[in-house]
Chain A
Amino acid sequence: MYPHSNHQTDKPILDVRSVSVRYNGRVALDDVTFHLHVGERIAVVGPNGAGKSTLFKVVSGVLQSQSGEVTISGSQPTVHSCIAYIPQRSQVDWNFPVSVADVVMMGRSAKLGPLNWPKKRDWDFVNHALETVEIGNLSKRQISQLSGGQQQRMFIARALAQEAELMLMDEPLTGLDTPAQEGLLDLLDTLREQKVTVMVATHDLEQAAKHFDRIMLLNKKIVAFGDPQSVLHSDNLLSAYGGRFRIIVDGHEDLLTLDDSCCDEGEHDHVH
């Protein structure tokens, strides 16, 4: 009943062609085209309202674009259960009566199929996923008792339990302290070893430059997409952010260290 992935391995894991999205006549994404290969790690940066969350929702097949096409390994997203959307922490009901292991087990709902209860193999999967993200000792905790970094790790574990091959993380670093951010970025290396392709929406251009293969600069359309050196120069940034960013020139390099000056809130896209 629930679909399982059917991958053509010669195709890019993600291929987005001329995708446009409008909400009530307002343009959210405008003619976006790009593709990703297996195991790549991409940072998506752009001002609030740039369409980062919208892009993730289209890619994961939760939202239908008005025009254009998205394919995952050669077929449309809605036949795949291998795409994990990791929500912004502010959009989660942390008082929901579930334990960490319960949440991670939710990732197996599709693989389990209807009317089946989790078996030992599924619990093994869950425990292994929790070990991978280094919170195996917290599996019985209620989710509100986790720190921000642990909450984020739990969702990555859930994506692993889902056997996700493409992870879309919406502002995972927002609101975390520096050690938690570093820990999470280290975890991305582990994901790369497992051939997981990762797209991360972030406000932190410095981290984007340091930890990602390619950077997508998005402001409804793709302003620039490529390696950090070529994307993060001031023309592109001015074009993406207008005057809404500050540049801190960092020593001798061409590379700018900069910071999106606005808002920790994230985008609020309304989907109906």
Chain B
Amino acid sequence: MSINWLVEPLQYEFMQRGMIAAVLVGIVCAIVGTYVVLRGMAFFGDALAHTILPGIAIGYLITGGARDTLFWWALGTAVIAALGIGAISKQAEIKEDTAIGIIFAGMFALGIALISTVQSYAVDLTHFLFGDVLGVSAQSLWLIIIFGAIVLLTIAAFYKEFLTLSFDPILAATLRLPVNLLNNVLLCLIAVTVAVSLQTVGVALMVAMLVTPAATAYLLTKRLPVMMALSALFAALSGVIGLYLSYYWSIASGASIVLTATMFFVIAFLWKRIRSR
């Protein structure tokens, strides 16, 4: 018995790039995801991911399907959508989740409608919806590295502000922290994370990367730094294990990564249940 089965997939460059992308995206999603979980923003994250589809679609139509420029379309749409949803959810006429639901489904439908005007749409749409981590180019990988680093550095720089704001917004206000600015920065960080994750897990499964590893970590610790570290660990492991499963069992890479993350959650959940008996 050799370790050939571990090494074999890595002889392909696309597997190496995919592996690196899956791990990096997983870590960024996992750290941002701790705030998504703690602040109850899972639905926002899911909606945001779906809302960027028309932006991607327009980029796709204009550039004739060039993958590398799609990141910028995704990024631009995500930031606008995040700030837009953030502003709309403050109005009082309709409940926040209803408002988000309307926008997210409408935008998602618009994206599908736009993409469906192209002949080969089924294949491309599948990639946008479910990701194509094995198609990550060297250039895309660099974008993931740079923007992922920006997200992580911002979270590190404003760690105590985000912590205070998330735990007790009124305290943040009485301490005269710039609450609105910080909230918008956090929304933008989630937006950047969504854009960065597009190629790995796609629009439809993105919420799993934002929520599942962080929720798994939440079950296992009661300290935020530990939660972030565990969340990143679970996400990175999910990326690696998910890709091996994808390679050997020929399952879609995005789904395989998400299923692995889900498996970690189920194990943590059951372990906690049994232990607390």
Q: Which residues of A contact B (CB under 8 A)?
A: 1-3, 24, 57, 60-62, 78-81, 83-85, 87, 92-93, 96-99, 102-103, 105-107, 109-110, 112, 114-115, 117-118, 142, 144, 158, 162, 272
Contacts and interface: CB of A to CB of B under 8 A. Distances in A.
A46 to B, nearest CB: 21
A62 B174 contact: yes
A109 B161 contact: yes
B100 to A, nearest CB: 16
Nearest to A271: B170
A43 to B, nearest CB: 21
Interface residues of B, number: 28
Contact of A99 (B90, B164, B223): B223
Contacts of B172: 109
B89 to A, nearest CB: 10
Given A97-B223, A114-B161, A115-B157, A83 B218 contact: no
A109 B223 contact: no
* Most B CB within 10 A of own CB, among A60, A62, A92, A144: A62
A272 B90 contact: yes
Given A62-B170, A79-B176, 14 more contacts: A60-B173, A60-B174, A61-B176, A62-B173, A84-B174, A85-B170, A97-B218, A105-B160, A106-B164, A107-B171, A118-B160, A142-B222, A144-B222, A272-B92
A96 B38 contact: yes
B8 interface: no
Which of B161, B172, B174, B224 has the most chain A CB atoms closer than 10 A to its own CB?
B174
Contact of B176 (A2, A24, A107, A115): A2
Which 4 A-B pairs rank lowest in CB-CB distance, beginning with the nearest? A110-B175, A142-B222, A106-B164, A62-B173
Contacts of B223: 97-99, 102, 142
Contact of A97 (B171, B177, B224): B224
Contacts of B167: 93, 96, 98, 103, 106
Nearest to A272: B92
Interface string B137-172: 000000000000000000001101101101110111
A24 B174 contact: no
A93 B39 CA distance: 10
B173 A61 contact: yes
A106 B174 contact: no
Interface of B: 38, 90, 92, 157-158, 160-161, 163-164, 166-168, 170-178, 218, 221-224, 226-227
A158 B168 CA distance: 12
Nearest to B163: A106
Contacts of A80: 176
Contacts of B177: 2, 109-110
Nearest to A93: B167
Contacts of B221: 97
B38 A78 contact: no
Contacts of A105: 160
A67 to B, nearest CB: 21
Given A3-B176, A162-B175, A109 B164 contact: yes
25 contacts: A2-B176, A2-B177, A24-B92, A60-B170, A62-B174, A79-B176, A81-B174, A85-B174, A93-B167, A97-B38, A97-B218, A97-B222, A98-B167, A99-B223, A102-B223, A105-B160, A106-B163, A106-B167, A109-B160, A109-B164, A109-B172, A110-B175, A110-B176, A110-B177, A272-B90
A69 to B, nearest CB: 18
A85 B169 CA distance: 11
Contacts of A57: 170
A87 to B, nearest CB: 6
